[in-house]
Structure 1
Amino acid sequence: MSFIAIGAPPAQSAGPGCGAVVTKSTTLQRNLTNCPGDGLVIGADNLTLDLGGHTIDGTAVPATAGIRLAGHHDVTVRRGTLQEFGNGVLLDAADGNALVRLTVARSIGRGVQLQNGSDGNRLEFDVSSDNGSSGFVLLASDRNVITHAAGSGNAFSGLQGFGASGNRVVGGTFTANKTGIGLEEGSNGNLVTGNVLSGNREPAVGIDGNDNVVRGNRADHNGWGIIFGGDRNQIVANVVTGTLGCSPDDCGTGIETPGGADNLVALNLVTGTADQGIRLREFEADGGPPTIGNVIRGNVVRDAGSDGIVLQDKTNEVTGHGTVKDNLVANNLVTGSGHDGIAVNRPANTVSGNIALRNRAFGIEAVNGVIDGGGNLAFGNGDPRQCLRIACHRR
């Protein structure tokens, strides 16, 4: 009689452990728990790391990353959770990669950070919440596309960019952060569209740069709505409702700029703001730019807490007036404001074709030297004169 020895089946690989360098396409087979340093490190181009729905968990050590991707391209990281690292996902000088359906939570610093020229990456359906700083950060990184992101409960911004240009932020949800979306320090040519922003303590969207487009977003019950500075920005077809204010004598406006030139504010619906609906002003005495050649056209402003639309609501008590001129306020509908419907407090600006009704004070109030472009209509306002220094037709 002969016997055939049957050995045990070969052991199945447990897959990479904490701190492993991934150099080929890999699917994670288990959770990684209490990683003392990085979770996983990408070490090659042209691969996919599929977390398989698993969680990579850190120990809240600064300068660690749940996924570290430095200097590599054509990498996809998808389907999993990173939690309790310094940064949840860190891309450093890494171009042309994809982060898909990742959930990042409770990072000491930032949830997902792209830095040092991490350009042309794609982020889709990612969630970043309850981080010690911002949910998503673009640091000197350009031409990235962030679609259907969700950033909530972060100590700073849901999504923040510094010197980040040509990026697209599309169809996201940003709630209960300090700022919803902030693009600052010379962030130019970005598109922010189709996002929902609510319950953020300060602005829903804050922009500091040139040639940005903020279009078709909805901002509900934030400290204020959209604040932008710079030149040639377009703030178009947004809905801003129920701003709350965030400190005495500040915030609470629907849309505003502290200075800039040739910007367009058009076709927005602004309702129920704690302070003004739309405001242009300047801070030249503090080193800011003048406010010149901007257009406020075709907006609907309802039930503003103060003026519906205002050009320069305050005067610097030390330096007096800065420059607010050659701006156009045209074809807007302003109703139910707590003070004036439209107030233009600097000469050499033009008012034409607006409708102002049922505002508490004047329909339109202007100072000497404001240009009457004609075609303004005002009725049912609190002051029986309806308009001051502007000719207004009545019904």
Structure 2
Amino acid sequence: MIRVSRMLSSGWFAAVGAAALLTVLTPAHAAHASPLSCGQTVTTSVVLTADLLNCPGDGLVVGAVGITVDLNGRTVDGVGLGVGIRNDGFANVTLTNSSSTPARVQEFDHGVRLNPGTSGNIVEKVTVQNNEFSGIELNSAVNNNRVRNNLVERQAKRGILISGGSRDNVITGNTLNANQGEGVFVQNSPSNRLEGNQVTGSGGAGLVLEGSSGNSLLTNTVGGSSDGAIVLRLGSNDNLVQGNSSTRSADAGLTVADSTGNRILSNTVRGSGDSGIVLQSSHGSTVTGNDVSANTGGIELSFAHNNLIQSNTANDTTGDGISLTQSLNNGLELNQANRNNSRGIYVVGDATPGNGNRLLRNTASTNKGDGIAVSKAGHTVQGNTTRNNNSWGVSADPGNVDGGGNLASGNGQAAQCKGVVCTP
């Protein structure tokens, strides 16, 4: 391949002026130099060999299917308007950087934008920074677009935005840092996979699903968000949130609000300003195998019904390990809620017969309040173990169901339990 850089000594580059030089790869694999200007439509594969600076509108516009735009360590730079790299529906296009030098798309309204109908695109190994509304946006882009291994930092709003019904796309291995809005925001878009991304220092929440169902959030790492770490809200149903970790979010680590049927599995949450996992008016979800120790609270349900809370670890919080408020027909099974600064497990709110919560085979020990406290009536307490709590092992108001098999010893109240029978 003949590189355009070999022509620089001829003086030809000086005659081109502000236009950027690219190597254009023809179908016959011959290469020749061609100047490209800001806003130009690219219809064949290109390798950028000079920067595009101070573009007054768009940087480059994709104009053909199946081409490759290789930024080759160069910068596409704007003045705060337009889109750095825009694709209005052409399939199987690759935007990449073959150089070991970072390639930057910066100072536009949107850094990289895949618009309606775009499918099969790859956006990889690009630094997208200092744009206004979004770093990388998928707007009604469908069917196996892959955004991978990019650095997306310091946008004035969102790092990566997936909107307008974008579906069946993969966002993986990206690093998102210091974006002033959300790190990744998925709005009204189903069936996307967000996997292995690192999101730090977001001015909003780290990862957000809003009105978006059937998505998978897998093994992402979220740190230092000024809001929550991971948020599912407003009809984000039937999503899988598995193997993610978060630290030091200003609000809850993982919040599910007004959504149903989600699976929250094997996540780790530390140092949140609110509880590790919060379900608000959210029903029919499974919360299993999560570690929410060392947060302000562990797992918190409010007005949330028909959920399974199973085999979670909620230790060493500054509040309650697990708390349920006005929440019905939930199963609390095989959870650990130890060494919390208040109660291990706390349930408040009346239940009609058959709609109570079921507390089965949990361990709640060495808490500074009760091990298990059940206020109001209609709930079942069975087979739990409570030891060495500062107050009662189990404290259950009249009208609750003693399912038997509860164990208690070493608790601050000599009777160990009230409202249920506990054996040593």
TM bin, normalised by shorter chain, reads 0.7 to 0.9
Q: Corresponding residue for 1:240?
A: 269
Q: Corresponding residue for 2:291?
A: 269
Give the Cα separation in 1 of the matches to 2:377 and 2:288: 24
Q: 2:372 aligns with which of 360, 364, 373?
A: 364
Q: 1:174 aligns with which of 176, 199, 219?
A: 199
Aligned 1:350-361 pairs, distance under 5 A: 350-361=358-369
- Count of equivalent residues: 358
Confirm or deny: 8 A CA contact 1:193 1:216 kept in the other structure.
Answer: yes
2:319 is the counterpart of 1:306: yes
Aligned 1:196-345 pairs, distance under 5 A: 196-208=221-233, 209-223=236-250, 224-229=252-257, 230-243=259-272, 245=273, 252-274=274-296, 276-282=297-303, 291-312=304-325, 324-345=327-348
Q: What amino acid is the match of 2:276? A: G
Give the Cα separation in 2 of the matches to 1:10 and 1:306: 71
Confirm or deny: 8 A CA contact 2:114 2:141 kept in the other structure.
Answer: no
Give the Cα separation in 2 of the matches to 1:147 and 1:132: 22
Runs of 5+ unmatched residues, structure 1: 1-7, 246-251, 283-290, 313-322
2:173 is the counterpart of 1:151: no
Residue 14 of structure 1: how far off its partner (Å)? 5.0
Q: Corresponding residue for 1:387?
A: 394
Residue 271 of structure 1: how far off its partner (Å)? 1.5
User: How many percent of aligned residue pairs carry the same amino acid?
Assistant: 30
Give the Cα separation in 2 of the matches to 1:253 and 1:370: 26
Superposed CA offset, 1:187-219 (max 9, x none): 001100111110001111001211101100110
Q: Corresponding residue for 1:91?
A: 114
Residue 73 of structure 1: how far off its partner (Å)? 0.7
Residue 101 of structure 1: how far off its partner (Å)? 0.8
Q: Corresponding residue for 2:100?
A: none
Superposed CA offset, 1:300-342 (max 9, x none): 1111111110001xxxxxxxxxx62111111001111121100
2:58 is the counterpart of 1:38: yes
Residue 167 of structure 1: how far off its partner (Å)? 0.5
Residue 96 of structure 1: how far off its partner (Å)? 1.6
- Report the CA distance shift for 1:183/1:164 in structure 2 as closer, same or farther (over 3 A): same
Residue 17 of structure 1: how far off its partner (Å)? 2.2
Q: Corresponding residue for 2:418?
A: none
Superposed CA offset, 1:259-297 (max 9, x none): 1221011101112112x2101112xxxxxxxx2210110
Normalised by the length of structure 2, the TM-score is 0.82
Confirm or deny: 8 A CA contact 1:145 1:167 kept in the other structure.
Answer: yes
2:189 is the counterpart of 1:160: no
Normalised by the length of structure 1, the TM-score is 0.87
Runs of 5+ unmatched residues, structure 2: 1-8, 13-31, 98-102, 397-401, 410-424
Q: Which runs of 4+ in 1 moved over 6 A?
A: none
Q: What amino acid is the match of 1:89? A: V
2:101 is the counterpart of 1:49: no
Q: What amino acid is the match of 1:379? A: R
Confirm or deny: 8 A CA contact 2:365 2:386 kept in the other structure.
Answer: yes
Give the Cα separation in 1 of the matches to 2:342 and 2:408: 19
Give the Cα separation in 1 of the matches to 2:222 and 2:56: 35
Confirm or deny: 8 A CA contact 2:284 2:308 kept in the other structure.
Answer: yes
Superposed CA offset, 1:363-390 (max 9, x none): 000023243241100011110x211116
Give the Cα separation in 1 of the matches to 2:35 and 2:372: 70
Confirm or deny: 8 A CA contact 2:368 2:389 kept in the other structure.
Answer: yes
Confirm or deny: 8 A CA contact 1:351 1:370 kept in the other structure.
Answer: no
Q: 2:145 aligns with which of 121, 146, 160?
A: 121
Q: What amino acid is the match of 2:107? A: E
Q: What amino acid is the match of 1:90? A: R
2:121 is the counterpart of 1:100: no
The answer to which structure, 1 or 2, has the higher relative contact order (CA under 8 A, 6+ apart) is: 1
Give the Cα separation in 2 of the matches to 1:111 and 1:152: 11
Superposed CA offset, 1:111-132 (max 9, x none): 1111134443111101211101
* Aligned-pair Cα RMSD in Å: 1.7
Which structure has the bigger radius of gyration? 2
Q: Corresponding residue for 1:286?
A: none
Give the Cα separation in 1 of the matches to 2:378 and 2:386: 17
Q: What amino acid is the match of 1:126? A: N
Q: Corresponding residue for 1:319?
A: none
Give the Cα separation in 1 of the matches to 2:327 and 2:112: 44
Partner of 2:292, secondary structure, is strand
Q: Corresponding residue for 2:133?
A: 109
